[in-house]
Amino acid sequence: MICECLLNPNADNGAFDKQITELQKAQLIDDIDSIINEKPSYASQRGSAVAFRGEPFEKPITGSHEEAERVTPESAYTAYQRMLKTARIDILCSGASDFADAEIFFTEKLSALERGTVCGLSMKPSALKERPETFADTLPMQQAILRMYFKAPDMDDRYAGILFACILGGMTTSRFFLNIREKQSLCYYCSSAGNRIKRTLIAYAGIEPQNIERVKAAVLAEIEDICENGVTEEELRTAKLEMRNTASSMNDNPSAMIGWYHNQILEDKILTPEEYCAEIDKVSAERVREAARKYKLDTVYTLCSPDFDGTADNNGEEDAE
């Protein structure tokens, strides 16, 4: 079925079916336009446009409304043919088989494709700006969203970086959750996520507008504390357990297992979940601290109501008459 769809699409005379193309185009445009209703996703997209300006990551994978409008049955078919000729093709199978027959089948079927210069797979670390950039968007909304982008172009310790992001804001016992959300009650949520290939760390929070500056300061304080004082052995143990539980759960789900290996497509070495956990277990608290020290603030993005005037007193409360 996969090969039939790939090699014999519903097309004729160098164009896809007009009616189906228009239906798919309308759906794509609706997906692009509707993101404004999903404020966290909108903030993520807009924040990436600032943090990764001039890089492929600047643009959303769906493209823009204007680009989608320009699609025709002919241009879509031309793009499809270009993909078949130049795209790297990876076939991942998961299940109780050695898939020897599947390998033979796909090799035979796909060998009929006319291939050209196949695109290479590479991704450069994102360049750190000379000075942090602050960018603010406004939309009618009750709360505010803060996204802070940190970059470490020279980060070379994959596993220490993963544990740093986890300890900072990647689990329910993270510093962001315990110190910023629970103890200080400054946000509805506050988490962090790392992108190892881009060498970036993103701290993101849903907050009241008057708490924006306080949460910025709190995020920076938590990172600075790890840089200066490191992490505790308990934090390290808990983060390793979190990583181990996540990795071990992959074996229970064929789709998750495919995702596990496909996500390592840019790595020098592809690891099994067990090999990954073994590397995680080797990380020391000192390695985590050294990883933290490599990250520098690159971009601060905020999204909040245009009605908020930015005033707040020292307690984070709005000024009152």
DSSP state of 198: T
Range of weakest confidence among 69-73, 96-100, 197-201: 96-100
Residue 77 has pLDDT above 50, yes or no: yes
The predicted model scores a pTM of: 0.90
Phi, psi for 151 (deg, rounded to 5): -130, 145
| Tens digits of residue pLDDT in 115-152 | 999 988 878 899 999 999 999 999 999 999 999 999 99
Average pLDDT estimate for 240-259? 90
What is the residue type of 37? N
> What pLDDT does residue 316 have?
39
Mean pLDDT of the chain: 92
230: left (phi over 0), alpha (psi -120 to 50) or beta: left
> What pLDDT does residue 313 have?
41
List the one residue out of 170, 187, 289 whose CA is nearest residue 229: 289
pLDDT band at 310 (very low <50, low <70, confident <90, very high): low
Average pLDDT estimate for 81-101? 90
Residues linked to residue 133 through DSSP beta bridges, in sequence order: 299
> What pLDDT does residue 315 have?
40
* 196 against 216, higher pLDDT: 216
Residue 320 has pLDDT above 50, yes or no: no
Give 235's Cβ-side CA count (13 Å radius).
25
**Contact status, residue 75 vs residue 11, Cβ threshold 8 Å:** no
pLDDT band at 109 (very low <50, low <70, confident <90, very high): very high
> What pLDDT does residue 309 have?
67
| Tens digits of residue pLDDT in 1-34 | 888 988 999 999 999 999 999 999 999 999 999 9
